[in-house]
Structures are given as structure tokens and as C-alpha cells.
Amino acid sequence: MKKLILIFVAALAISCGDNKKEEKKELKIGTQVEETSPAETTDDAVANVTIEGNDQMKFNKSEIRVKAGQKVKLTLKHVGKMDKTVMGHNWTLLTQDADMAAVGQAAALAKDSEYIPTDMKDKIIVHTKMLGGGESDTIEFDAPAPGTYTFMCTFPGHYALMQGQFIVE
Ligand code: ZN
């Protein structure tokens, strides 16, 4: 009887197999050591992530991967020279139901709060400070539930180029 239930559960897992499930399967087959991740993970408990923004209005990463349950220690470095009033960058992580364009448009009007729209705080999981050239900021937060999230810079107009995926596996 137990065996039957197990088979049923396995069948269920396979029947709702999406990309996430397939990835999980691959991970089980492959050895843990060979897992490659752009997240510069140093140990299982903490994901150390560094991402740069520059004067060309670009992040140097379009994808960041961490694991569920990890603490994320993320550092944003502005490697350019321009002032934050003209080329400011932050790293803002949105909830899965957030509309990036809507957040971006609201942010453009939120100069007084460093372009973090206070009326959309429920769409923002976490964010760094707004940085100018040569500055950096480190934030720590718990990885949200597994899934794919969007990150962006909320400086006016920047999200068109400065965005990417934050994937919790
Ligand atoms: Zn920016």
C-alpha cells in the first residue's frame, strides 16, 4: 500500500513537470560539486553575490541564482564615475506579481525617496541604496520562495536596460 502511494506521488510530481522540476532532477543526477552558479556561492547557508552597475547604464549580470533557504548577501558596486543625480543605480528586487514597467514609472516620480516609490513598497522585496560612481552598498536578506523574480534599477528610465532575473532554486 505504501508503495502505491509513493508511485502516485511520483506520478503527480512528473505530471506537473515544468522547467523547475526538470532542473531539480538534473541536480540530483549530477554531483553537487559540479553545479555551476553565477551567484558566487561560497557555502550552503550564504549566497555571496556581487553585481556591478556602470556609466553605460548596465548591470554586469542579467541573471542571479541562489538556493531556497539561503541568506543572500548582495553587494552592488557602481564602477562608473558619474554622480548619482545623473547616473544613479540601485538594485531592487520585485515580487513575482509586480509589473516592472509600473514600478519603473512610479519610481521616476519618487525622487525624494531615492526613486523607491513608497506607494509600491508591497511590490519591492528589498533594495540597495541609490549609488553614484565609486560607491557600493551591501544588503542581506533571506532568499524568497523558489521561483523567478525580476531585479531592476529604479533610477528614471534605467530599467529598460538595467534589469535581470533573480532565480531561487
Ligand atoms: Zn541605474
Domain boundaries, the chain: 46-168
What integer pLDDT is reported at residue 74 of this predicted model?
A: 98
* Ramachandran quadrant class, 122 (left: phi over 0; alpha: psi -120 to 50; beta: rest): alpha
Residue 134 DSSP class: T
CATH topology of domain 46-168: Immunoglobulin-like (2.60.40)
Q: Which residue has the higher pLDDT, 146 or 18?
A: 146
Per-residue pLDDT tens over the stretch 45-63? 999 999 999 999 999 999 9
Ligand 1: distance of its center to the CA of 121 in Å? Answer: 18
Average pLDDT, the chain: 84
Q: What are phi and psi of 5, to 5 degrees?
A: -65, -40
Rounded average pLDDT over 31-39: 46
Ligand 1: distance of its center to the CA of 33 in Å? Answer: 35
Rounded average pLDDT over 71-90: 98
Ligand 1: distance of its center to the CA of 119 in Å? Answer: 20
Per-residue pLDDT tens over the stretch 92-146? 999 999 999 999 999 999 999 999 999 999 999 999 999 999 999 999 999 999 9
Pairing type for strands 92-94 and 124-127 reads antiparallel
Rounded average pLDDT over 64-70: 97
pTM: 0.75
What integer pLDDT is reported at residue 156 of this predicted model?
A: 98
Ligand 1: distance of its center to the CA of 64 in Å? Answer: 17
Rounded average pLDDT over 75-102: 98
* pLDDT at residue 36 greater than cutoff 80: no
**What is the residue type of 167?**
I
What integer pLDDT is reported at residue 38 of this predicted model?
A: 53
What integer pLDDT is reported at residue 40 of this predicted model?
A: 55
